[in-house]
Structure 1
Amino acid sequence: MRTIMAKSPYDSSFSFSKRHFHRIMGHDDEEEVLPSVCKDYSASAPSRKRGTISRLRSALTSAIAGRRRSSGLGPRVTGTLFGHRRGHVHFAFQVDPRAAPVLLLELATPTSTLVREMASGLVRIALVCEKKPSPSSKTLLEEPLWRAYCNGIKCGFAVRRECSTVDWGVLKAVEPVSMGAGVIPSDCGGGEGEMMYMRAKFERVVGTKDSEAFYMMNPDSNGGPELSIYLLRV
Structure 2
Amino acid sequence: MPLPFLHPNTFHKMENHVLLSLLQRPTNPDKKPKSGGTGGGAGGLFRMFKLLPMLTTGCKMVALLGRPRKHLLTDNATTVTLFGYRRGRVSLAIQEDPHRLPIFVIELPMLTTAFHKEMGSDVVRFALESDTKTRKKKVLEEFVWAVFCNGRKIGYSIRRKNMSDDEIHVMQLLRGVSMGAGVLPSPHEKETGDGELTYIRARFERTVGSKDSESLYMINPDGASGQELSFFFVRLR
Give the TM-score category using the shorter length: 0.5 to 0.7
1:197 equivalenced with 2:211 (yes/no): no
1:140 aligns to what? 139
The letter for the 1-side match of 2:135 is S
- Structure 1 runs (4+) deviating above 3 angstroms are 4-13, 187-193
- The separation in 2 between residues aligned to 1:11 and 1:118, in whole angstroms, is 25
Q: Is 2:135–2:211's contact at 8 Å kept on the other side of the alignment? A: no
2:218 aligns to what? 216
Q: Relative to 1, partners in 2 of residues 1:172 and 1:12: Cα closer, same or farther, differing over 3 Å?
A: closer
1:154 equivalenced with 2:153 (yes/no): yes
CA deviation after TM superposition for structure 1 residue 202, in Å: 1.1
Identity rate, percent: 42
Q: Relative to 1, partners in 2 of residues 1:105 and 1:139: Cα closer, same or farther, differing over 3 Å?
A: same
Give the count of matched residue pairs. 173
- The separation in 2 between residues aligned to 1:117 and 1:173, in whole angstroms, is 25
Q: Relative to 1, partners in 2 of residues 1:194 and 1:7: Cα closer, same or farther, differing over 3 Å?
A: closer
- The separation in 2 between residues aligned to 1:99 and 1:190, in whole angstroms, is 29
CA deviation after TM superposition for structure 1 residue 177, in Å: 1.9
The letter for the 2-side match of 1:92 is A
- The separation in 2 between residues aligned to 1:5 and 1:113, in whole angstroms, is 27
1:186 aligns to what? 186
3-state SS in 2 of match to 1:113? helix
RMSD, aligned α-carbons: 2.8
3-state SS in 2 of match to 1:112? helix
Q: Is 2:166–2:187's contact at 8 Å kept on the other side of the alignment? A: no
Q: Relative to 1, partners in 2 of residues 1:7 and 1:98: Cα closer, same or farther, differing over 3 Å?
A: closer
Structure 2 unaligned residues grouped into runs of 5+: 1-58
CA deviation after TM superposition for structure 1 residue 218, in Å: 1.3
Q: Is 1:84–1:196's contact at 8 Å kept on the other side of the alignment? A: yes
Higher share of residues assigned helix: 1
Structure 1 unaligned residues grouped into runs of 5+: 14-73
3-state SS in 1 of match to 2:187? helix
Q: Relative to 1, partners in 2 of residues 1:11 and 1:126: Cα closer, same or farther, differing over 3 Å?
A: farther
1:101 equivalenced with 2:159 (yes/no): no
Q: Is 2:186–2:197's contact at 8 Å kept on the other side of the alignment? A: yes
Q: Is 2:66–2:176's contact at 8 Å kept on the other side of the alignment? A: no
Q: Deviations over 1:90-144 (max 9, x none)?
A: 1111121121111001111111111111122210000011141xx4322111110
1:165 equivalenced with 2:152 (yes/no): no
